Amino acid sequence: MTAPAEIAAAEASADPAKLLKAWTRISAPHELRAAVFGVMHHLAFIGFAWGAASAVSALVAGDAIGSGLVLALVCALIRAGLQAGEARASFEASASVRAHVRREAAEALAERGPSFAERTPSGQTASALIDAVEKLDGYFGRYRPLLPVVALGPLVILIAAFTQSWVVGMIFLATVPALIIFMALVGAGASAAAKQQMSVLARLAGRFNDRLQALETLNAFDAIAIERAGLYSASEDFRARTMKVLRLAFLSSAVLEFFAAVAVAGAAVYVGFSLLGELPFDPGETLGLQSGLFLLLLAPEYYLPLRRLSAAYHDKADAEAGAEAIADFFPDEDQAMATPSPRLTAAPDIRFERAGAVYPDGRRGLAAAGFTAKAGEITALWGASGAGKSTALKLLLGYAPLTEGVIWINDAPIAGPLIGSAAWIGQKPRVFHGTIRDNIAVFDPDISDDQVQMAADAAGVMEFAASLPDGLDTQLGERGHGLSGGQAQRVALARALAVDMKLLLLDEPTAHLDGEAEARFLDALTRAAKGRTVMIATHSPAVRLRCDAVVELGGAA
């Protein structure tokens, strides 16, 4: 299995541990380069330490210090360049993973469609795509590139120490197991705390965004004060959990610094008493000034990779928490989207044969239904709320699960969602910040101005755009600010015509329009329906009268 296939399989499993493991394949080349630079700059430090110790020893003895000083300066410059290369490679490792995860999570969110997005708070979604993805930064940019350096960096320092003193080498060697054990114990607690913190952050973001959008309602019911108190309590809970994570991170660093300080002090005491000739035992070795200074310079460097790992150790816990939040966006293997069906080049016949849908939470979206929407006709799906009208349309786009029966497209069972072949127009179509032209083309540079103009004419957009100062180049605000509901619907219809969709799926498109706006939209739809199959879920008698066929759907089971 190739690396991309393994990554896709892990994302389909939606397992946080598998996701982190799979994403390492993206960062691996950069991590390897960072690790090589990291180990090499420790080798360069050995040269620097020897040169510096040699220069100081020569200065004390009254000899020339040139050779030692030159060696120290050259090695220092080389080390600085290697550290810069390590930092750059580590950044690229993190950036490559975060870019991939954001892209794939956004695409997975789009594939899962309204059936998932409608049930996930928008604030929680934004928190996952922004905050949770940023949680991966330290793991792939600091923690993982450090692992080989932690294994090899101290090793080369240890070997250099043993060449001068077996006692100092043993002091270095004896402290490492204790450090690793204590870091593992603290890290386990940090991982659990980080996951709880990420979960609370997602809920807090979702709650805040939801209440922000409902300020008018909260104000009308005089519930502002109550909700303010609720948000304060939730934010205090998040603050407490954040401080817990920080306490554990500082504890990990404190443990490391304690053992490192003890080891460095032990080495310093041994070197000092050895140079003074005051050791209470015979170590079987004699240290000179150059060797002693060399060992003292190596002591802090020996623990530097472990110090860096300790500072980055909580990044692993953060990444696990972030991956858990992001995993929700990827459908599991049973929910994974099928490959989209081939693009429709002509108006299709659509036939439901006892087709039904039950959502993953157990809610039935559509009871087994059988009906036909003929090619080139406008078919209305009619029924009470909860009858499954919207779900029937979502089944065609793969936004709802087909759990029973068959859907036929031109006498062949549907092979996959009709993404790219069917246009979706809901009750409140999304209008982006940009020009009317941009909204019709959906920012696709491959759609020509002529196509946009023809679609605008056919959908009735020019009826109001022609009176605007900049016509189709008029700037619109977020969520269609500047357009009425009926005008926004006609812009959405023009989108479908600009790419010549042969199947139009409309979900209560006139639910929020007055009689005049509804009539104008239906006039535009009737013109646009020529040569296309149109399925429209509606409660409107006016829409029903304009349709060629009406399908009565029963209540939800």
Are the beta carbons of 556 and 386 closer than 8 angstroms?
A: yes
List phi, psi (to 5°) of 355: -80, 135
Distance CA 256, CA 263 (A): 11
Instruction: Tell me, yes or no, whether 300 and 379 share the same domain.
Output: no
pLDDT for residue 556:
39
Q: Which of 308, 22, 312, 304 lies closest to 187, judged by CA?
A: 312
Instruction: Tell me, yes or no, whether 360 and 444 share the same domain.
Output: yes
Instruction: Tell me, yes or no, whether 223 and 359 share the same domain.
Output: no
- Which phi-psi region, left, alpha or beta, contains residue 480 (left: φ > 0; alpha: ψ -120 to 50)? left
Instruction: Tell me, yes or no, whether 450 and 519 share the same domain.
Output: yes
The CATH number for 12's domain is 1.20.1560.10
Distance CA 378, CA 344 (A): 17
213: part of which helix (H) or strand (E)? Answer: helix 166-213
In a domain, 332, yes or no: no
Q: Per-residue confidence of the chain (557 residues) as pLDDT tens digits? A: 344 555 555 554 556 778 888 888 899 999 999 999 999 999 999 999 999 999 998 998 888 888 889 999 999 999 999 999 999 999 999 999 999 888 888 877 777 666 666 666 666 677 777 778 888 888 899 889 988 998 898 899 999 999 988 888 888 888 777 666 666 666 556 666 666 676 677 677 767 767 776 776 777 667 778 878 888 888 888 888 878 777 776 776 677 777 777 778 888 888 888 888 777 777 778 788 888 889 988 988 888 887 787 777 778 777 877 888 788 777 654 445 556 667 787 888 999 999 999 887 788 888 888 999 999 899 999 988 888 888 898 888 888 888 899 999 988 888 778 877 888 888 777 788 888 888 888 877 788 888 888 888 888 888 888 888 888 888 887 666 667 777 888 888 888 888 878 888 988 888 877 888 788 888 888 888 888 899 999 888 988 998 999 999 874 33
Are the beta carbons of 407 and 350 closer than 8 angstroms?
A: yes
Residue 296 identity: L
The CATH number for 428's domain is 3.40.50.300
Q: Which of 550, 506, 537, 557 lies closest to 368, judged by CA?
A: 557
> Rounded to 10 degrees, what is the CA torsion of 306, 312, 315, 316?
-10
In a domain, 402, yes or no: yes
Instruction: Tell me, yes or no, whether 317 and 380 share the same domain.
Output: no
Distance CA 146, CA 304 (A): 11
Q: In whole angstroms, how far apart are CA 454 and each of 10, 408, 434, 440, 495?
A: 44, 32, 19, 11, 11
pLDDT for residue 84:
94
With DSSP H G I counted as helix, E B as strand and the rest as coil, what are the percentages for the chain, rounded to 5? 65, 10, 25
Dihedral sign from CA coordinates of 165, 168, 171, 176: negative
Distance CA 112, CA 11 (A): 13
pLDDT for residue 191:
60
In a domain, 338, yes or no: no
Helices (H), 328-441: 389-397, 436-441
For the entire predicted model, the pTM comes to: 0.62
Instruction: Tell me, yes or no, whether 19 and 72 share the same domain.
Output: yes
HEC assignment per residue over 447-493 = CCHHHHHHHHHHCCCHHHHCCCCCHHHCEECHHHCCCCHHHHHHHHH
pLDDT for residue 406:
92
Residue 442 identity: V
Please say which residue of 327, 342, 358 terminates a domain. Answer: 327
Are the beta carbons of 498 and 453 closer than 8 angstroms?
A: no
Instruction: Tell me, yes or no, whether 207 and 285 share the same domain.
Output: yes
Q: 191 is written with which tokens?
A: 């991982």
Instruction: Tell me, yes or no, whether 322 and 362 share the same domain.
Output: no
Number of neighbouring beta carbons within 10 Å of residue 380: 25
Dihedral sign from CA coordinates of 50, 53, 58, 61: negative
Contacts 24+ apart (CB under 8 A), 218-226: none
Distance CA 243, CA 306 (A): 23
In a domain, 341, yes or no: no
Helices (H), 62-165: 66-112, 114-117, 122-127, 133-134, 136-138, 144-162
Structural domain including 100 reads: 3-327
In a domain, 151, yes or no: yes
In a domain, 336, yes or no: no
Instruction: Tell me, yes or no, whether 422 and 321 share the same domain.
Output: no
pLDDT for residue 184:
63
pLDDT for residue 1:
39
The length of the chain in residues reads 557
HEC assignment per residue over 237-272 = HHHHHHHHHHHHHHHHHHHHHHHHHHHHHHHHHHHH
Return the half-sphere exposure (C-beta side, CA atoms, 13 A cut-off) of residue 357: 23
In a domain, 21, yes or no: yes
Instruction: Tell me, yes or no, whether 134 and 88 share the same domain.
Output: yes
In a domain, 339, yes or no: no
Domains of the chain: total: 2
Instruction: Tell me, yes or no, whether 105 and 244 share the same domain.
Output: yes
Task: For residue 234, count CB atoms less than 10 angstroms from its CB and return exposed for 0-12, middle for 13-18, buried for 19 or more.
Answer: middle
Instruction: Tell me, yes or no, whether 515 and 483 share the same domain.
Output: yes
Residue that has been written with the tokens 């693009």 in this structure: 343
pLDDT for residue 213:
67
